[in-house]
């Protein structure tokens, strides 16, 4: 090799180094179904979460605070007397306080290895499925701006841990009544509990987490605790796609539940 040959990926599927097959694909199955369903699901979540994030209303119904709005860091979330509040952003912050914190879970999911696969296939058709040619003439992968920013995922993981801790705190607070007395439970407490279990499972199933827990070790035999933790995270990691979807749905449902209570559609059924 002289070092001057084009990189095999530099010209997309029509590169000289690729097999000269003119048909976009030779598949006979319904390969388009999975990317189409994925696109519909992600699009529905984008529409719903955009509406709720900018609504700046109906995000607190004692003792529940919407996961889209917690922790509330702006002065303009006085509608939320309990929960982790801090007026870090003063009166100058005029838009919805959800925007301040949604950057972190959004960044975590946008750069997630599974979601990358999902939207590269379903929105960018790059490629739309295995063994189906992509329409783009060039392919530079994630080696240049802007996609090189996907490498930020490992840092978003640390923020995602913080977010999961905050939502855990909110779930604990949900076991109170509307006067903040402990030892009570409503349907919302169960909704929050299911959500936080899924959020933790998704967060810990992250590929970056798996690397942090078990990576860069030469001998597992000398690190039995990390080995056990790595095995546990590995089991979750096997289900990363399912957990990505389940936690996406559960966080939207938890928010929607708070919205229904806060907007007076119905009252939270209390068990005790
Ligand atoms: Fe999906 Fe990290 S790889 S959350």
H-run or E-run covering 87? strand 85-89
Q: Beta-carbon neighbour count of residue 72 at 10 Å?
A: 26
Ligand 1 pocket member 113 (CB < 6 A)? yes
Grade residue 77 by pLDDT with cuts at 50, 70 and 90.
confident
Residues in the chain: 272
Q: Could you tell me if 263 and 79 are in contact, meaning their C-beta atoms sit under 8 angstroms apart?
A: no
Task: State how far Cα 175 lies from the chain centre.
Answer: 25
Ligand 1 pocket member 112 (CB < 6 A)? yes
3 state DSSP class of 153: helix
Inter-CA distances, 9 with 6, 51, 123, 127, Å: 8, 39, 21, 13
The structure tokens listed for 171 are 């779930």
Between the CA of 247 and the centroid of ligand 1 the distance, in Å, is 12
H-run or E-run covering 151? none
Ligand 1 pocket member 114 (CB < 6 A)? yes
Q: Could you tell me if 111 and 152 are in contact, meaning their C-beta atoms sit under 8 angstroms apart?
A: yes
- Judge if the upstream peptide bond of residue 198 is cis by omega within 30 degrees of 0: no
238-265 pLDDT, tens digit per residue, is 999 999 999 999 999 999 999 999 999 9
Grade residue 11 by pLDDT with cuts at 50, 70 and 90.
low
The pTM of the full predicted model, rounded to 2 decimals, is 0.91
Pick the range with the lowest mean pLDDT from 139-143, 164-168, 207-211, 264-268: 139-143
The structure tokens listed for 228 are 């056990």
Q: Whose CA is nearest to atom 1 of ligand 1?
A: 112
Grade residue 4 by pLDDT with cuts at 50, 70 and 90.
very low
What is the ipTM for the molecules in this complex? 0.99
Between the CA of 40 and the centroid of ligand 1 the distance, in Å, is 21
């Amino acid at each position: 090799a002289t070092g001057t040959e084009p990189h095999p990926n530099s010209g997309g599927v029509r590169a000289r180094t690729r097999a000269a097959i003119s048909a976009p694909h030779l598949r006979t199955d319904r390969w388009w179904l999975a990317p189409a369903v994925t696109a519909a699901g992600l699009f529905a979540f984008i529409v719903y979460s955009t509406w709720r994030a900018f609504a700046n209303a109906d995000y607190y119904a004692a003792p529940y605070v919407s996961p889209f709005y917690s922790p509330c860091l702006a002065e303009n979330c006085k509608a939320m007397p309990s929960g982790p509040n801090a007026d870090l952003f003063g009166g100058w912050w005029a838009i919805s306080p959800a925007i301040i914190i949604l950057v972190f879970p959004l960044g975590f999911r946008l750069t997630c290895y599974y979601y990358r696969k999902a939207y590269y296939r379903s929105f960018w058709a790059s490629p739309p499925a295995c063994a189906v040619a992509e329409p783009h003439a060039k392919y530079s992968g994630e080696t240049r701006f802007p996609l090189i920013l996907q490498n930020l995922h490992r840092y978003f993981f640390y923020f995602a841990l913080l977010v999961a801790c905050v939502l855990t705190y909110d779930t604990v607070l949900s076991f109170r009544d509307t006067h903040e007395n402990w030892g009570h439970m409503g349907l919302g407490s169960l909704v929050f509990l299911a959500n936080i279990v899924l959020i933790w499972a998704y967060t810990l199933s992250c590929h970056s987490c798996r690397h942090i827990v078990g990576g860069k070790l030469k001998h597992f035999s000398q690190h039995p605790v990390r080995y056990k933790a790595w095995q546990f995270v590995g089991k979750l990691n096997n289900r990363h796609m399912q957990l990505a979807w389940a936690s996406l749905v559960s966080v939207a449902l938890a928010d929607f539940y708070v919205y229904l209570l806060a907007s007076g559609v119905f009252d939270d059924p209390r068990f005790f």
